[in-house]
Structure 1
């Protein structure tokens, strides 16, 4: 078993299903970029309630990072060439929503969301060598 951390974009809306024992789970397909620049699909399955809810809240094209058990395999593509398949059992899901929520949670009280300094009162300076 390999502990894996992948990031990519959700290929299509995640699907909720129910197992034989009546327990819900979620399946999804994530598109990642391989080293050679080609797209690599990762088949994802999640059983943990938090991971399931996070996947179901996302839409196609949303960025996502997943951690869990990664398994690899080989299959023959339509062109007859061997291809790699990746399957991930997700234990944790991180999205842009989670990042902004955590950032707000650790930000000191009273500090503005954007801590960039305000622009000068006279911008651009009168002696600037360019026109805006």
Structure 2
């Protein structure tokens, strides 16, 4: 694991869940742009109550910055092609929700 910060956009609405001891947490998916124009999927889990509160107010397409512990991973698709993915336990979530044009 490594600590860091990453930015991107939510690819779905964050979900509220509870563990087996009924402690709440949030999960989300973010797509982050790489310098070469490709994108990297980021799987997010947040246990911190402030981070969960921010995620709870967001919807698909909102821009976010996540700070926390990252675990880089690789998954293999059906054509045996490797793809990078990041898992993050978010300690802090900063967001810029999309507001309607006025």
Q: Output the CA distance in 2 between the equivalents of 1:79 and 1:28.
A: 26
Structure number, greater radius of gyration: 1
Which has the bigger relative contact order, CA under 8 A and spacing at least 6? 2
Indicate whether 1:72 and 2:72 are aligned.
Answer: yes
Runs of 5+ consecutive residues of structure 1 not aligned to the other structure: 98-132
Higher helix share: 1
Shift of 1:35: 2.2
Q: Output the CA distance in 1 between the equivalents of 2:2 and 2:27.
A: 19
Higher strand share: 2
2:54 is paired with a residue whose SS is: helix
RMSD, aligned α-carbons? 1.1
Runs of 5+ consecutive residues of structure 2 not aligned to the other structure: 98-102
Aligned equivalent of 2:100: none
* Aligned residues between the structures: 97
Extract structure 1 runs of 4+ deviating beyond 6 A: none
Aligned equivalent of 1:44: 44
Q: Normalising by the residue count of structure 1, what TM-score does the alignment of the two structures yield?
A: 0.70
1:55 is paired with a residue whose SS is: helix
Q: Normalising by the residue count of structure 2, what TM-score does the alignment of the two structures yield?
A: 0.90
2:78 is paired with a residue whose SS is: coil
What are the within-5 Å matches in structure 2 for residues 1-132 of structure 1? Answer: 1-96=1-96
